[in-house]
Structure formats: structure tokens, C-alpha cells
Structure 1
Amino acid sequence: MFKHSMKIHSKLILTLLTLLTVSACGGTSTTPTTIQTTATIFYAHSLVFKNTSTLLSTGYNGFGQLGTGNLGNRSVPGGLNSYYPFRGYAAGGDHSVAFTNNSSVIYSWGYNGFGQLGNGTTTYSSIPVRSGTVTGIVAVAAGALHSLALKKDGTVWAWGQNDVGQAGTATGDTSGFITTPRKINGAAPLANISSIAANGKHSLAIAKGGALWAWGLNSNGQIGLDPSGPMQNSFDPVNISMYYPSSIASVTSIAAGTGSSYAVAANGTLWAWGVNDNGQLGNGTTTSTHIPVQVKIDALTYLSNVVQAAGGGQHGLARLASGEVWAWGFNHFGQLGSSQPDSSYAVKVTLPGSATDIRAFGASSMAMVNGAWYVWGDNTYGQLGVGTTGTVTTPTKMSGF
């Protein structure tokens, strides 16, 4: 079985022996530049809405994932080379995906070595390109090299890399990837889905009623199965709520870290499982487990009244009903909101007000406070959008907000 270590600081390194045809505008070109490249997945770009439909991007742009029509990095959020009014979005390893306001169709841009742009090719694009013909999209999610989309009818569609089942289907070929969106039809029907999440090489979904489904890589138990058992990885979605009725029988919110998973239970408790080498499960240990463990503040106190979680490369975030934000795990880049050492317990992040949204990606963190994004953590490529590069250890307002 495939074993994969998701040991990430600010980046996940994958060596790909491939040639990519490059065009300055990202499409086909009569005079392409062919480069030999070793692809590096940085998780080093971010996307934000300035208002309800104007999508901005900042950070690393080596494969056009900022959608600007060029490959230049930037450290201040700016617009895309696109006139599409977007309603939702997700940032993957080196690609981006979004869906439109009116007809709810999917557009993607950036790295496409495994078909993660969904346009039937493996040529990357620095401008948004249509991803298949699926319509009626209400949410999207992006992993390292794959993408998910949720339709309003409750079905989930996936495309991109599928070598360990992260796209939720046996491809029937040896390529290990899917270049156009494909409906996930597992051995057990994946239907009536209300929420999706993806990171690294695994995917999660919540069905109406609160059941949690997971599929893809399971090298560290991140899909809730025993990695030493017969199902190290799963190409079919698995209802893992039925295995853990005392913890995640009914889930209201989910998040995927690169090698870990998070679920907010209906009672406001937060549960985590998967890799834990830097304390990213938040239970006071550094022992990885496929069995959900409850996130703690200290040895005796559990985090409670949680409404949202977010997963980065090796750290996690939680937002409480009060608007407080807590963080745990790896802190080499200040992604916990301070310059303190790593923490296997949740620590409170100091913010200027109550948060209404949170994000985590790579070794970076974000929180929405009073309509503005506050950011902290890894900023090597300007992914925090503060106008400079370099580590940011305390929450700082993103430029333009």
C-alpha cells in the first residue's frame, strides 16, 4: 500500500518528472516555452473576497495560481484577470478553484499537472478556465492536487490527482488522475451532502443529518481508519461517524489539515485525528491516531462551544461562538499567533475583536474581524497580503481591508 508522509513546514515537496508547457496567459500558445521543472507545492497563496463577488489573490504565483495572467508573485491582494463574478472559492497546493454567482459554474487556474483545473488538459493556466460542464455548484474545496465541488442536489464531484483515492473513485486506468469533474459514486451512495473539505491527499464531507464521510490517503489515520489494517487508503467514501458514535455521530462543521482531520460535533466539542507529530490534534500529545480525540486547552479542560475549525499543514484553528480563536500545533512561522514554541494544547489568539471566519493553509492563519482579514504565520511569498514578505507572528490586518 502507498505510504506518504505529509511532513510540511511551509511547503510539501513533490518531485514530478514532467515537462510543462508554459504560456504567459496560461492558455495554449503558438510559441510556448517548455521548461523542465521540479514541482513544489507551497500552499503559499491565498484568496479573499473584497466584497461579495470581487475575488483577490496574493502570494506565490509560480504556476499562475493568482489568476493574474502572469507568473509574478505579489504581497498585496489584487484582482484576477477575469470578469467572472465569483460566489465561492478555495485555494489548493498550487491551484485555485471558484464558482460563479449566476449559473454556479466552476473555474480553475494555476498548476494542472494532474488535471486539477478540470478542463480536460494537464497544461497550467494563469487565468481562470472553465472546469467541465457541471452547474449548480454551492461549494468548492481544494487539496494538494485535487479539487471537489458540491452541487445543490447534494452530490459531490471531484477531479485531479487520484492516486490514493482522494477524488473518490477508481479511475479504471493507470494515470492516477481525472481531468474533468466526475460525480463520486462509491460503494455506499454519497448523497445529501451539505459540506465538503479537502487538504493534502484526503477529502471529507458531511451528509444532511450530520454523518461524516471520508476518503483518500490514510497513512496516518486521517480518514478515520486504522492505517495498519486492510484499508490504508480508500477510493470509496467511508461513513466514519458509524465507527465513533460517542464523538462524531453528528457533525456540524469539518476541516481538513494536510495529514489530519477536524470535526465540530453538534454539542460544540472539537475532535481531531490523523498525524500529530507537532501536536496538530491539540490533545496534549504528539501521538498520531485514527481515533478522534478531543481538542484541549490544558490537561483537564476541553475546548467547548466551537462553531468552526480550520486545518493547515501542521496546525489547527478553532473559532468559538464567542468569536474567540484558538490555535495549536507547529509554530515555527508564528502560525499560532505568537512567537512561542509549538503547542499540543490550544492557545488563545489575541485579536482586536470577535472573529466571524477563520482560515488555515500551509503554515499561515487568517481570521475575519469586523469585516477585515487579520493574518499571521508564514509569509515567505507574500501570501498574507500585508505588503511585505517574511514571518508575521502576531495578527496583522491584510492590506486593503
Structure 2
Amino acid sequence: MRRIWRIGIALAAMVAGAVVAVASPASAATGSAAVVATGYSHTCAIPAGGALWCWGGNGRGQVGDGTTTARPAPVRVGTATDWTALEAGTSYTCGLRTGGALWCWGANTRGQLGDGTFTNRSAPVRVGTASWATVSANDSHACAVRTDGTLWCWGFNRFGQLGTTPDVVYQTTTPIQVGTVNTWKSVTTGYAHTCATRTDNTLWCWGDSTSGQLGLGILSYRTAPEQVGTATWASVTAGYTFTCGVRTDGTLWCWGENGYGQLGQTGIYQTTPVQTGTVNTWSRVAAGDNTACATRTDGSLWCWGNNMAGQLGDGTTVNRYAPARVGTAATWAADFAVSYHSCGTRTDASLWCWGNNASGQLGDGTTADRTTPVVVTLS
């Protein structure tokens, strides 16, 4: 949950470094994935070919298979083969299909599915008829950018996370436009805050900032987008009450709550962006709850923050206050997702997951937590 966009990975052949097990050619073929999203206790992925697979906790229908039965192994969702993007909220999921159609399913107690109701859905339902470019979902609100560059949000709005004052809209079951700007590029949602970039790569945030997660130097909230400094950003992600981003110069910055080291350093909360380390070869960052992971241009994957269930993938359950490398593999691709469990794809299209597995969200057929990545087979 909480990442700006999901993009397909290149399928170029590269040598993979082992983490737990090296997928055989057969398992890499059947376990391939180009897109992955993680909720609190469920996971969804799109392999090459555009089919949709989900697994894990399903009490609110977030797996999307028409039931509320937990799935410890991947199950196919519908028969469509044109899925292109995914985003998982706490107990719901949203996805895009070819042509820009947006579909959501799962928990809907705050209208976060955007379908005009408060009814939970155990199978995908379409959100209006507009064409969408990217979507982000978190606990009880979601936002998406349309192909015309406008930005829309829906769900809960207690802290102005929908980009308007709660006095006007406290919650909404259908998308409402954020301002009138039509140059939005990407969006990411935290528990009660939202950040988005524009086509000029400037960063704008709004909603709750009681832990400094807007990066505006405040400990209150904002009900409309405000620009975060003057830097330009390549990738931004919202965690529970913190935010991280990679600037266009390859440096990594985080701000907000830091109780678990989720800013990638020691110390208290930060109300403005602070640099994580000195490396300038970061390529993309993703956050979920109180954990974050990022890739470097050399294909390595690094994680930090809360590690109580092994979601950092470093073989321990020790919280990390600085980025810790996940194994020795140098073939991690652009798409990975972070929550109390984490999943990522490699350049050979294999899918790997680790961390909390109480509901079978790792997709390995068990409910045992994993502190290092295990390969997931989609077949």
C-alpha cells in the first residue's frame, strides 16, 4: 500500500543473487510477476500476461475472488487478462486495467472503494467511467490521477486528506477533485495524509501532519496541497505517519514519525525532509505502515524501520535505524511493496515475499513468518 505508482519490470536476463532459494527455471516462469501490492494481511500481483492473482486475509473480500475465505496460496481473480496496475489499502485493493478503467474491492466502511456505497465488495467493482493513470490506497482513503492530469480522492477526510476541509466533506463514497490543477503526475496516500508530484517534479502534500509527515515544518494539518520545499522528486511514498522520497539527484529523504527508525536514522520525528545517509544512487522508495524499502541503481534492495515480523528481509526481527541490505541479490526490479510484510519482483520476473504471514499473505501455503524472501508461485 502507499506507493506512488506501479510499473512493469524489464524482463532482461540477469544473474540473480540468492537470498533464501533460487527459483528454478520452471518456478520462475510460473511465479513471474510484473506488479505487486501488499495490504495489512493480503497481497495481489499481476504476472506477465495481465491476469490478477491475490492471496492472504480475506475477511472484507480484499482478495477479490467473490468470497471472504482466507487464501494462504494465490488464487486467480476473475478471467480478465488486461490488468496493468495495483494498489493495496489496509483491507481493500484497487487496480487499473488497459484503457484506464479503475476497479476496487474489499473493505468499504469509509467509502474508500469509490463506488458510491459503504458496502464491502468481495469482487472488483468499477469506479465511475473515467480513465485513470495511477492510483494509491491506504487505510480509509484513496486517490488517483486521471489521464487528463487531474487529481481525485475519496473516502475518509477527517484531517483534510482528500484535499478539502472536513467541514465541507467529512467522507465521500465517490471521487472528488483536488483543486483545479491538471498537471498532476503521481500520488501516494498515508494513514491520513496525501502527497503528490506534478509534471515538473515538484512535491505537494496535505492532510494530517501531527507527526510532521507533510514535510512542511508543521505539527498540525492542511486541507489543500502545499509545496514541500523547492526540490524536484523522482519517487515519493507515504507510510503510516511518515513520508520518504528519492530526489531527481538520486538522494533519499524522509520526514515524519521515527519511532521505529522509519526515517532511516536515529532521533525524533522530523517536520521537514532530512537526508537518509549520503548515497546518491537511489532509484525508488516504497513505504508501508512503519517500514520502508528502496532500490539502488545497482539493483540492490534495502529496508529499514519496523521489523517485528521480519518485514525488512534481513534475517532478523530487529528494527533498523538505517537502510539494511536484503540479501546479496542485485536483480531487484522497480516494483516492490511494503507493509507488515513485503514483496518484490526481480528482473527475471520472479516474485518474492517476506515478513508477517499470519493470514497466509506471503503466498507460500503456510502461516509461518519469514525473515528472508521466499519465492511465490502463481499458477
Q: Do both share a fold (TM > 0.5)?
A: yes
CA contact (8 A) 1:286 1:344 kept: no
The one-character-per-residue Cα deviations of 1:254-274 (angstroms, maximum 9, x if unpaired) are 111111101111110000001
Is 1:204 paired with 2:180?
no
Question: In structure 1, what is the Cα distance between the partners aligned to 2:360 and 2:59?
Answer: 13
Question: Which of 79, 101, 104 is equivalent to 1:105?
Answer: 101
Q: How does 1:308-319 map to 2 (within 5 A)?
A: 308-319=284-295
Secondary structure at the residue paired with 2:69? coil
**Aligned residue number for residue 31 of structure 2:** none
Would the alpha carbon gap of residues 61 and 236 (structure 1) be closer, same or farther in structure 2, given more than 3 Å must change?
same
Secondary structure at the residue paired with 1:279? coil
Superposed displacement of residue 293, structure 1: 1.1
**Aligned residue number for residue 181 of structure 1:** 175
Question: Which of 238, 244, 269 is equivalent to 1:288?
Answer: 269
Question: In structure 2, what is the Cα distance between the partners aligned to 1:383 and 1:199?
Answer: 21
Superposed displacement of residue 172, structure 1: 4.9
**Aligned residue number for residue 346 of structure 1:** 323
Q: What is the percentage of aligned positions where both structures have the same residue?
A: 32
For 1:295, the aligned partner's letter is T
TM-score, structure 1 as length reference: 0.81
CA contact (8 A) 2:53 2:378 kept: no
Question: Which of 347, 350, 353 is equivalent to 1:375?
Answer: 353
Question: In structure 1, what is the Cα distance between the partners aligned to 2:225 and 2:122?
Answer: 32
Q: How does 1:2-401 map to 2 (within 5 A)?
A: 43-81=40-78, 83=80, 85-102=82-99, 104-133=100-129, 135-170=130-165, 172-173=167-168, 176-185=170-179, 189-228=180-219, 232-242=220-230, 249-283=231-265, 285-296=266-277, 302-337=278-313, 338-339=315-316, 341-369=318-346, 370-400=348-378
List alignment gaps of at least 5 residues for structure 1.
1-41, 243-248, 297-301
TM-score, structure 2 as length reference: 0.85
The one-character-per-residue Cα deviations of 1:243-296 (angstroms, maximum 9, x if unpaired) are xxxxxx11111111111101111110000001100100002x131111111112
Runs of 4+ more than 6 Å apart: none
Superposed displacement of residue 201, structure 1: 1.4
Question: In structure 2, what is the Cα distance between the partners aligned to 1:200 and 1:339?
Answer: 26
Superposed displacement of residue 357, structure 1: 2.4
Question: In structure 2, what is the Cα distance between the partners aligned to 1:172 and 1:118?
Answer: 20
Secondary structure at the residue paired with 2:229? helix
For 1:265, the aligned partner's letter is R
Superposed displacement of residue 85, structure 1: 2.7
Question: In structure 1, what is the Cα distance between the partners aligned to 2:290 and 2:354?
Answer: 15
For 2:318, the aligned partner's letter is P
The one-character-per-residue Cα deviations of 1:186-241 (angstroms, maximum 9, x if unpaired) are xxx5431111111211111111121001111111011113344xxx1112111113
Superposed displacement of residue 168, structure 1: 1.4
CA contact (8 A) 1:82 1:128 kept: no
Would the alpha carbon gap of residues 163 and 52 (structure 1) be closer, same or farther in structure 2, given more than 3 Å must change?
farther
Question: In structure 1, what is the Cα distance between the partners aligned to 2:286 and 2:68?
Answer: 28
For 1:91, the aligned partner's letter is A
The one-character-per-residue Cα deviations of 1:308-364 (angstroms, maximum 9, x if unpaired) are 001021111110011001111111111111215211011111154411124333211
Secondary structure at the residue paired with 1:241? coil
Question: In structure 1, what is the Cα distance between the partners aligned to 2:83 and 2:268?
Answer: 41
CA contact (8 A) 1:108 1:128 kept: yes
Superposed displacement of residue 82, structure 1: 5.6
For 2:357, the aligned partner's letter is N
List alignment gaps of at least 5 residues for structure 2.
1-38
For 2:307, the aligned partner's letter is N
CA contact (8 A) 2:215 2:255 kept: yes
Would the alpha carbon gap of residues 52 and 213 (structure 1) be closer, same or farther in structure 2, given more than 3 Å must change?
farther
Question: In structure 1, what is the Cα distance between the partners aligned to 2:57 and 2:134?
Answer: 24
Would the alpha carbon gap of residues 44 and 143 (structure 1) be closer, same or farther in structure 2, given more than 3 Å must change?
same
CA contact (8 A) 2:304 2:312 kept: yes
